[in-house]
Amino acid sequence: MTEKKAAATRKAPTKKAAPKKAPVKRAPRKPSTKPVKKSYIDDVFGRYVPNQAKAKAIAERYVIDWNPLEALKAGGYSEGTVRSHGHVMIKHPNIQAELAKLQEEIRANVIADAAYVIHGMHEVAEKCMGHQPIITLDEEGNSIVKLGFNPAAATAALEKIGRSLGMFKDSIEIKGVLSVEDWVAQVEEKARGANVGKTQH
C-alpha cells in the first residue's frame, strides 16, 4: 500500500465537544435615580402657579376680549413671560376654575336680563290693551289715572314676546312647485288657446 492510500485510510482524530458554559446570572437593575423628564405643559404649570387672587384677576380680564396675553399681564406676569408661555399659562387649572365661576355668573345675569326684558314688554302690552292703568302727574304733581288703548303698540309688544319665546317662525311654505317641463307645457297651452281665439275672430 502506498503512503497516499495509507494516509487516506487513516481516520481523523475526533474533536471533543467543549463543555457548556453555565448561564450568567445578572443582578436585577436598580431603579434609575434620574428625574423623569416633565412635559412642556407640566413644566409651565409647575413654574407659574397663580394663587386665587391672581387667577381671579386674570379671568376677569380674560372675559373682556379673550386676549390671554393682556389677561396674564393683568395678573402680574411680565411681557416676556406671557409671550413665551401665555398660550399654556392661560390653561392652568386655577385660572380655568375662576373662569368657570365667572362664566356661570355671567350666564345667570344674562338669563335675569332676558326675564326683565320680557316682563317689561308684558307690562307695555297690558297697558296698551287697557288692562292696566297708566298713571301720570300733572303740573301740580297730582296723579292722573287713565286707561289707554293702543292696538299697534300692544301688537308689537306681544309679537316681541312671542318671538323671544320662539312662538313665531318666519317661514314661507311653497306648495305645488312646477317643474320646467310642466311650466313649458302650460305656456304652450296658453299660446295655443290664444291662437285659436284669434282664428275664430
Query: What would the pLDDT profile of 7-49 be if each residue is shown by its tens digit?
Result: 555 555 566 666 667 666 676 666 656 655 678 888 888 899 9
* DSSP designation for 45: H
Contact 20, 60 (CB under 8 A): no
Give me 42's grid cell: 407640566
pLDDT at 174 over 50: no
pLDDT in tens, 43-70: 888 899 999 999 999 999 998 888 999 9
| pTM of this structure | 0.46
For cell 362664566, the residue is 103
Smallest CA-to-CA distance from 59 within 81, 75, 38, 43 is with 75
Q: What is the DSSP string of 64-104?
A: HH--HHHHHHHTT--HHHHHHHHHHHTT-HHHHHHHHHHHH
- Whole-angstrom Cα distance, residue 164 to residue 128? 19
* DSSP designation for 170: -
Contact 48, 77 (CB under 8 A): yes
- 127-136, 154-163, 166-175: segment of lowest average pLDDT: 166-175
- Whole-angstrom Cα distance, residue 93 to residue 41? 12
Query: Residue 171: its pLDDT value, please?
Result: 47
- Whole-angstrom Cα distance, residue 101 to residue 59? 9
**3-state secondary structure labels for all residues of 122-146:** HHHHHHHCCCCCEEEECCCCCEEEE
Helix, coil or strand: residue 24: coil
pLDDT in tens, 106-119: 888 777 777 777 78
In the chain, the N- to C-terminal Cα span, in Å, equals 146
Contact 99, 59 (CB under 8 A): yes
